[in-house]
Structure 1
Amino acid sequence: MPEPVTLRPRGGMIIAAIALVIAAAALVFIAIDGGLLDLARWAWPVVLLGWGAWLLYLRPYVRVSEGFVEISNLVRTYRVPWGDIDSVDSRFALTIRTRGGRVIRAWAAPAPGARQALSTQRADVTHTPGDDDTRRPSDAEGTASGDAAGLVRRELERHRREGTAAVGQTALTWHPLLIAGTTALAAAAVVSLVLPHG
């Protein structure tokens, strides 16, 4: 794999884009209608809406590279070397189980909803990687979980076949600035809504 591949759910990106456009339009409306003083008072909940959309739908990703799979969820990121992957599943989301027993689910690769799962035909998962008995609608191509699981399974199989699976432990990174910034923004939004405005 010459270049890393980064996956994000298309549906989540659309939701985030809509939320960000609404938040930006609301800020402009507040500034035009009430001036800078109202903007300073009421912007925090609106900014929190946009920030939440980015945090929930745009920030999470699955990155597949030559040396590892990187799963970034809300405030933490896992870097899993190919040699530390025990199994790959897609039942509720792309799920990687490490050799040490850690279970890592990817927010960026959720399984399809009930309606899409019920409409999935056996033919939709015929050519996806995996055993016939364990394939399910969440493995179907075109779904966030299916696309991510298929890519990870193919690369894992290639690394195992070629004997190039990097050995190492899964690394977990927390993002304290992201946590602190989100907490501060939420607190500012609450204060903005609770304090009396004259």
Structure 2
Amino acid sequence: MPEPVTLRPRGGMIIATLALVITAAALVFIAVDGGLLDLARWAWPVVLLGWGAWLLYLRPFVRVSEGFVEVSNIVRTYRVPWSDIDAIDSRFALTIRTRGGRLIRAWAAPAPGARQALSTQRADVAHAPGDDDTRRPSDAEGTASGDATGLVRRELDRHRREDVVAPGDVTTVGQTVVTWHPLLIAGTVALAAAAVASLVLPHG
């Protein structure tokens, strides 16, 4: 794989974009209608809406590269070397089980909803990687879970066949690395507190 491939759900990106547009429009309206003082008072709940949309729908991703699979969820990122992957599933979302038994579900690759799953035909999953008996609607091409799971399965199969190790990449072998993002957590808590205070505290 010459270049990393990054996946985000298209539906989530649309929701986030709409939320950010609404956030920007609301801030402009507050500033024009009430001035900077009202903006300072009431902007926090509006900004929290936009921040939440970015955090839930734009920030998470699945990145597949020569050395590892990177699953970035809301406030935590997993870097999984190919050698540490034991199994891959798509039942609720792209799910990677490591050799140590850890289950990593990708927020950016959720399984389709019940309505879409019920309308999925066998032909929709016919070309998905995996055994016929284990294929699910969540493996269907065009779904967030199906596209991500298929990509990871194909690349994992290639690594196992060819015993691929990226030159100079020590992350290709070894253990999964988990990284928390404390600044995101602290920023979200602070913004939520400011939004609550803006709504409940009296304004003269």
TM range (shorter): over 0.9
Partner SS, residue 53 of structure 1: helix
1:169 aligned residue (171, 175, 186): 175
CA distance in 2, matches of 1:79, 1:48: 29
Question: Which residue is equivalent to 2:34?
Answer: 34
User: Which residue pairs with 2:169 in the alignment?
Assistant: none
Shift of the alpha carbon at 1:164? 1.5
Q: Can you list the C-alpha shifts for 1:22-57, whole angstroms capped at 9, x where unaligned?
A: 010000000000000000000000000000000000
CA distance in 2, matches of 1:53, 1:70: 21
CA separation in 2, counterparts of 1:118 and 1:197?
A: 51
Give deviations 1:112-157, integer Å, cap 9, x for gaps.
0111101100011011100110000000000000000000000000
In 2, Cα distance between the equivalents of 1:155 and 1:143?
A: 18
Q: Partner of 2:168 in structure 1?
A: none
CA distance in 2, matches of 1:183, 1:128: 41
- Residue in structure 2 matching 1:180, options 186, 191, 198: 186
SS in 1 for 2:88: strand
Q: 1:43 matched to which residue of 2?
A: 43
Tell me what 2:135 maps to. Answer: 135
Residue 42 of structure 2 aligns with an amino acid whose one-letter code is W
Q: How does 1:105-144 map to 2 (within 5 A)?
A: 105-144=105-144
Q: Give the Cα separation in 1 of the matches to 2:123 and 2:33.
A: 56
SS in 2 for 1:148: helix
- Offset at residue 162 of structure 1 (A): 0.1
- For structure 2, the 5+ residue unaligned runs are 166-171
Q: Does residue 13 of structure 1 match 2:19?
A: no
Give distance in 2, aligned partners of 1:127 and 1:53: 33
SS of the residue 2:13 aligns to: helix
1:196 counterpart SS class: coil
**What is the CA RMSD across the aligned residues, in angstroms?**
0.6
Q: TM-score, normalised by structure 2?
A: 0.96
* Equivalent position SS for 1:29: helix
Aligned partners of 1:197, 1:45: CA distance in 2, in Å? 15
SS in 2 for 1:69: strand
Runs of at least 5 residues in structure 1 that lack an aligned partner in the other structure: none
Mapped to 2, the partners of 1:196 and 1:97 lie a distance apart of 50
Shift of 1:167: 1.9
- Counterpart position of 1:191: 197
Separation of aligned partners in 2, 1:127 and 1:42: 52
